[in-house]
Structure 1
Amino acid sequence: MESSSSMQVTIIVVTFNRSGYLSRLLDTISAMTDPPSRVIVVDNASTDDTSEVVRDSSLPASVLRYERLEKNTGGAGGFSSGMAFALEEGADWIWIMDDDVEVIPDALTRLKPWTEKYKCLHGRREEADGRPYFWQHRMNVSLGVPRPTTADPFSAGNFAVANVGCFEGMLIHSDVVNRIGLPDPRFFITWDDTVYGWLASQYTEVGYVNEMVLRRARPLKTVGLANHQVNTANDLFRFHLMRNRAYLAKYFARYGSLNRGQFAVGTALTFAKELYRCLFAERSLKGVPALLAGFWAGRKIHADRAWRPMPPIHSESCQDKL
């Protein structure tokens, strides 16, 4: 592998109708002290002035590539397309992020030394108000639900081992992408990065490192409840959260990791958590029909015997550990 000082990084940004946030993100990328070799903006058929924002960016034309998709494919489809574009260009390292974050100026300087240990890693992010955010980097595979982060995962050291992924900051080597394939666009939104990181963990150790590299630019609407913050959601999220658990189960089954009984308990817990969100964060049960619709759509996916996972890009030795 190339040394961390000479490695080339391609940033992929997926955007949809948030040109204001995208403009801020591109400004922070252009101000990086250790800049990426390439930036690919994937536009999910925005109807605002996204194309003008990209055109007016201060990033050099030789660095910035803009791809507008014909329809909105969700975050999953956008990242799948973006990673395909990056591989076409021969990218080695691919750094993935949403449009509503900002990059800390020395982010890549902080991350690059860790690439000598990990081929898939995540740095840290702070909230829009400056509070540190601790990602739920471990999943209970039997239940198919994230383990709550109840303490600072870096209290005992500067890194932790993850078994899931997050597309708000995943840095991944093309070797891993070639083995596990592109992100599955069928997810549209939610669970897609969880599954992708889990797939990566089947071949290589996935790292979560104590390096602050991103800042969320868009404040989340939250409601305080005891010692927790509960985010509000929308019906699009609720539907896909429940439906896509079927895709999660399909991938687990592919790798011999599905316990159907325990996974069903995890699905019930996920439904209960969303009811909790509706009742306490949104003070309404209007989101219940979307949850039920997603659940029944998932049942159809469970029953689809023709369903297949995303294939590896290079199949030779795809079972080898990296």
Structure 2
Amino acid sequence: MNIAAVIVTYNRLELLKECMEAFFNQTRRPNELIVVNNASTDGTDEFLREWVASHNISDMEIIVVSMEKNEGGSGGFYAGTKKALEIGADWVWVSDDDAVPSLDAFEKAETHICEISDIDQISAICAQVQTGGKPATSNRGIRKMGPLKMEIMHVPKSEYLWTSFECNHFSYVGVFMQAIFLREVGLIHPEYFIWRDDVEHSWRLSSVGKIICYPDMIVNHKIQQMDYQGISWKTYYGYRNDLLMYKEHGCKLYYITKTLTMLFKGLCSINKRHFELYVDAIKAAHRGEGGINQKYLPGMKL
């Protein structure tokens, strides 16, 4: 069984160092470790050259994919998973540089895969994501289709007490995707740039196969909570991509409801820049416009 791991990194060298060591010390290493460097400027490229040269590895090929510019998480994961399929991977793990798998995560994954009797019906298996030693429930979800909108309900902590549970949405943190299903539904949309790209991709994968989470596989997600609070440059991509997702999946009523909700939020905001952000997201989605918007560059303050 060929298992490839894909890591996407951008200017977080200290996190990447810890992440790389976790893969090197796995009790069952991935056959290939594909590191996508999203045009980092913090010495990541030099570190990767030195790390490969200083680690004697016979059972894990290190492949560095260097992007010419920062393509965001979406572009990075697209390039990495595309490479994994080209080299013949059967399963592809995906995670950012701030996700550190437990040292037996890949060994347990292989065991679970071998024990699943209907493996030809499983599109992905997930690890338990923890933050601060506790389950980060926002990473695994169940899709709930309401009359006016879709909600992704977080899998409750009680489910993590079981040997496994089924879900139909995941974040790109500690997920093994089966190659045959990646080829069937396609890869992540690179034009999303960042945010909600994994939600849309898991929607496609759940439509053709089951997604199973195994809580005994653990990945420590060292997220910065500030990235998920308030309105930031990332908000533009989150809302735009939600609308693009609803358009692709034919959810016209959800698209309209989301649009009206965004306009209402913008009108209620005391910051006119926020209203402009929502309008820009709506316009971009209406035009089917993906990619990076120069008005909302990474790190930009609103």
User: TM-score scaled to structure 1, two decimals?
Assistant: 0.77
Map of 1:49 onto structure 2: 43
Alignment of 1:243-254 (within 5 A): 243-253=240-250
Whether 1:139 aligns to 2:143 is yes
| RMSD of equivalent CA atoms | 2.9
The structure-2 alpha-carbon separation of the partners of 1:131 and 1:150, relative to structure 1 and needing over 3 Å to count, comes to: closer
Higher helix share: 2
CA distance in 2, matches of 1:237, 1:188: 10
The amino acid of 1:131's aligned partner reads K
Q: Structure 1 residues 297 and 275 mapped into 2: Cα distance closer, same or farther (>3 Å)?
A: closer
Work out whether residues 243 and 255 of structure 2, in 8 Å CA contact, stay in contact via their aligned partners in 1. Answer: no
> Helix, strand or coil: the match of 1:46?
coil
Distance 2:6 2:44 in 1: 15
Residue deviations 1:158-209, cap 9 Å, x none? Answer: 2222222321111011101101111101110011000101100111111122
User: Corresponding residue for 1:152?
Assistant: 158
Provide the residue aligned with 2:100 in structure 1.
102
Shift of 1:136: 4.0
Mapping of 1:164-313 within 5 angstroms? 164-221=169-226, 231-232=228-229, 235-253=232-250, 258=251, 260-266=252-258, 289-290=273-274, 292-304=276-288
* Equivalent residue, structure 2, for 1:77: 75
Deviations 1:116-174 (A, max 9, x none): 343311110211x222222341122452332244552235x322222223211110111
Aligned to 1:20: 14
The CA distance in 2 between the partners of 1:274 and 1:139, in whole Å, is: 26
The structure-2 alpha-carbon separation of the partners of 1:104 and 1:298, relative to structure 1 and needing over 3 Å to count, comes to same
- The unaligned stretches of length 5 or more in structure 2 are 291-302
**How far apart, in 1, do the equivalents of 2:263 and 2:26 lie?**
41
The residue identity in structure 1 corresponding to 2:134 is R
Identity, % of aligned positions: 23
Give 3-state SS (helix, strand or coil) of 1:168's partner: coil
1-side partners of 2:254 and 2:65: how far apart? 42
Gaps of 5+ in 1: 1-6, 223-230, 279-284, 309-322
3-state SS, counterpart of residue 265 of structure 1: helix
Q: Deviations over 1:37-56 (max 9, x none)?
A: 00000011111110122122
Is this contact kept in 2: 1:239–1:291, CA < 8 A? no
SS for the counterpart of 1:71 is coil
The 1:102–1:300 alpha-carbon spacing in structure 2 relative to 1, beyond 3 Å, is closer
- Across the two proteins, how many residue pairs are aligned to each other? 277
Moved more, 205-214 or 263-272: 263-272
What letter matches 1:132 in structure 2? P
2:124 aligned residue: 120
